[in-house]
């Protein structure tokens, strides 16, 4: 335990902490499943804020460094087996199944220091009022980094997207080149943002491709990528449906219309992409397919049938991805104020268990995953039969 205490003392007393996260609970009876600690300043006083994550609530407590070190030691002994520390100079992972003999892994810092004021304005990954080359070049901000009022919702959308990427990030293998494809990239605000985030902020080895049908848009995007010297970002003309050139670790498809989303998802699953981020739109395919008598009186109103079709389309896409071994979440992408097309399908591939070191727990997890996938497929088939539909995603 002394080794952990020394690390904490060094980081906390020297005020090097950006964030730390306790996870992997020792017992099921521990009421909270995660604890996050960050430095904050309240009325000019420096504190550490402890955030307790319970099943359905989050509670905060502000402590000074001395009290916090003792509390952290208690957390490690009693409650958690793992601690991830993000400091300004390094990342440290402590694996402490036995707190007296912990495994300590150190790596380069992955997080940037942030503004510490307590009631601060929302801190974006790409902040307002700080010059950012691609935002300037795309006309979202001026040369001083001030975001133009009319582009503020785009700016928020970019940051929200990067927060989602940041959240899913752990499941990528960052020891090799990360390949990303943005299907239906359009003017590519989000493709440029992704490059900026992965390559410039995170310093990762990436290759990003933006694909779109429109020649003029692709020419425009390639020109900007060259001007910005984003040398690992390329834009190609092509149809998602026919794209067969390369595999990708992450597939992004934002607002690609109707079945274009399905072709993007089909490609991603075929490549076993680790992360899929998809915001579908114009889900028209099933509108003329659904047949069912009970709901017919509701569907005489086109707008209700349209909304229902959207939900059914995305719901069955989610099930198909689950059936293919993905953990699927439907999340709000932007607030409705920006666009009504705001549901994101976030699918992350469950990591396979290395067969040579398989434990009893791994075997159980693999079996649970298989059952989940089988159940999702049954649910998918039942819905298909009930609504008499034949969706494009079926060919997955
Ligand atoms: C609404 S825009 C979205 C642009 C960008 N992804 C965003 O969210 O800001 C949709 C883009 O998808 C492209 N698109 C639609 N179907 C496509 C397909 N089958 N193959 C490639 N691109 C497609 C369109 O040309 C258009 O630029």
Cα(52) to centroid(ligand 1), Å: 41
Q: How many of the other CB atoms lie within 10 Å of CB of 2?
A: 9
Q: Is 255 in the pocket of ligand 1 (CB under 6 A)?
A: yes
What pLDDT, on the 0 to 100 scale, is given for residue 43?
59
Cα(224) to centroid(ligand 1), Å: 18
The SS3 call for residue 335 is: coil
The SS3 call for residue 232 is: coil
Nearest residue to 232 via CA among 279, 300, 180? 180
Q: Which two tokens stand for residue 352?
A: 């396979």
Sign of the alpha-carbon torsion through 257, 258, 261, 263: negative
- Of the ranges 23-27, 28-32, 120-124, which one carries the lowest mean pLDDT score? 120-124
Ligand 1 pocket, mutate which of 134, 194, 212 (most atoms under 8 A from CB): 212
Q: Is 260 in the pocket of ligand 1 (CB under 6 A)?
A: yes
Is pTM beyond 0.75? Reply is no
The Cα 367–Cα 363 span in angstroms is 6
Q: Is 372 in the pocket of ligand 1 (CB under 6 A)?
A: no
What pLDDT, on the 0 to 100 scale, is given for residue 52?
84
Q: Is 210 in the pocket of ligand 1 (CB under 6 A)?
A: no
Cα(166) to centroid(ligand 1), Å: 23
Cα(374) to centroid(ligand 1), Å: 32
Express each pLDDT in 261-283 by its tens digit. 999 999 999 999 999 999 999 99
Give the Å distances, CA to CA, from 316 to 265, 286, 320: 12, 11, 6
Of all protein residues, the one whose alpha carbon is nearest to atom 11 of ligand 1 is: 184
Q: Which two tokens stand for residue 289?
A: 């397919």
The SS3 call for residue 107 is: strand
Alpha helical stretches, state H, 87-242 = 133-137, 152-168, 189-195, 215-227
Q: Tell me: pLDDT of 148 over 70.
A: yes
The Cα 208–Cα 232 span in angstroms is 6
Express each pLDDT in 310-368 by its tens digit. 999 999 999 999 999 999 999 988 755 455 678 999 999 976 655 666 788 888 888 88
Q: Is 147 in the pocket of ligand 1 (CB under 6 A)?
A: no
Cα(256) to centroid(ligand 1), Å: 4
- CATH (residue range 133-395): 3.40.50.150
Q: How many of the other CB atoms lie within 10 Å of CB of 215?
A: 9
Cα(182) to centroid(ligand 1), Å: 9
What pLDDT, on the 0 to 100 scale, is given for residue 238?
95
How confident is the model over 203-220, as a mean pLDDT? Answer: 95
Express each pLDDT in 62-121 by its tens digit. 788 888 998 999 999 999 999 999 999 999 999 999 888 999 999 999 987 766 655 455
Class of residue 296 by CB neighbours under 10 A (exposed 0-12, middle 13-18, buried 19+)? exposed
Q: Is 102 in the pocket of ligand 1 (CB under 6 A)?
A: no
C-alpha angle with apex 396: 186 to 259, nearest 5 degrees?
A: 35
Ligand 1 pocket, mutate which of 154, 180, 186 (most atoms under 8 A from CB): 186
Of all protein residues, the one whose alpha carbon is nearest to atom 12 of ligand 1 is: 184
Percent of the chain with pLDDT over 70: 93
How confident is the model over 116-138, as a mean pLDDT? Answer: 77
Sign of the alpha-carbon torsion through 112, 117, 118, 119: negative
- Nearest ligand 1 atom to alpha carbon 263: 19
Of all protein residues, the one whose alpha carbon is nearest to atom 8 of ligand 1 is: 254
What pLDDT, on the 0 to 100 scale, is given for residue 339?
53
- Nearest ligand 1 atom to alpha carbon 281: 1
The Cα 10–Cα 16 span in angstroms is 8
What pLDDT, on the 0 to 100 scale, is given for residue 42?
66
The Cα 28–Cα 159 span in angstroms is 35
Cα(255) to centroid(ligand 1), Å: 6
Cα(212) to centroid(ligand 1), Å: 6
Domain edges within the chain? 2-107, 133-395
Q: Which two tokens stand for residue 272?
A: 């076993």
Q: Is 10 in the pocket of ligand 1 (CB under 6 A)?
A: no
Q: Tell me: pLDDT of 60 over 60.
A: yes
Q: With contact defined as beta carbons under 8 Å apart, do 252 and 180 qualify?
A: yes
Give the Å distances, CA to CA, from 379 to 69, 323, 367, 384: 49, 10, 18, 9
What pLDDT, on the 0 to 100 scale, is given for residue 155?
93
Cα(183) to centroid(ligand 1), Å: 7
Give the Å distances, CA to CA, from 48 to 25, 63, 121: 22, 5, 19
Per the prediction, the chain carries an average pLDDT of: 89
Pick left, alpha or beta for residue 62 (phi over 0 → left; psi -120 to 50 → alpha; otherwise beta).
beta
Q: With contact defined as beta carbons under 8 Å apart, do 264 and 256 qualify?
A: yes
């Amino acid at each position: 335990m002394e080794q952990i205490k020394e690390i904490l003392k060094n980081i906390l007393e020297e005020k090097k902490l950006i964030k730390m996260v306790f996870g992997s609970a020792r017992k099921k009876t521990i009421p909270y499943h995660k604890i996050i600690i960050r430095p904050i300043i309240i009325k000019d006083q420096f504190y550490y804020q402890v955030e307790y994550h319970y099943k359905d609530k989050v509670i905060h407590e502000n402590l000074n460094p001395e009290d916090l070190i003792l509390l952290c030691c208690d957390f490690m002994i009693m409650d958690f087996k793992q601690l991830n520390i993000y400091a300004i100079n390094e990342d440290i992972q402590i694996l402490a199944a036995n707190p007296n003999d912990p495994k300590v892994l150190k790596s380069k810092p992955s997080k940037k220091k942030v503004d510490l004021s307590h009631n601060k304005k929302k801190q974006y990954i790409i902040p307002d009022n700080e010059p950012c080359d691609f935002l300037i070049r795309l006309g979202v901000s001026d040369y001083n980094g001030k975001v133009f009022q009319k582009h503020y919702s785009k700016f928020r959308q970019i940051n929200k997207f990067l927060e989602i990427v940041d959240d899913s990030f752990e499941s990528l293998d960052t020891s090799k080149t990360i390949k990303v494809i943005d299907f239906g990239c359009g003017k590519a605000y989000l493709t440029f943002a992704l490059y900026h985030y992965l390559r410039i902020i995170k310093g990762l080895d990436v290759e990003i491709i933006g694909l779109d049908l429109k020649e003029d848009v692709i020419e425009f995007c390639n020109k900007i990528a060259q001007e910005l010297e984003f040398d690992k970002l390329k834009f190609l003309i092509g149809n998602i449906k026919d794209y067969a050139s390369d595999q990708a670790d992450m597939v992004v498809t934002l607002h690609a219309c109707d079945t274009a989303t399905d072709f993007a998802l089909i490609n991603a699953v075929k490549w076993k992409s680790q992360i899929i981020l998809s915001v579908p739109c114009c889900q028209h395919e099933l509108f003329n397919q659904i047949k069912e008598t009970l709901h017919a009186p509701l569907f005489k109103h086109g707008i209700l049938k349209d909304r229902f079709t959207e939900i059914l389309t995305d719901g069955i896409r989610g099930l198909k991805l689950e059936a293919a071994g993905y953990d699927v979440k439907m999340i709000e992408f932007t607030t409705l104020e920006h666009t009504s097309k705001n549901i994101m399908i976030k699918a992350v591939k469950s990591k396979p268990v290395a067969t040579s070191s398989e434990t009893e727990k791994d075997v159980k997890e693999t079996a649970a995953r298989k059952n989940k996938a089988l159940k999702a497929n049954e649910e998918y088939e039942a819905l298909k039969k009930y609504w008499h539909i034949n969706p494009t995603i079926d060919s997955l």
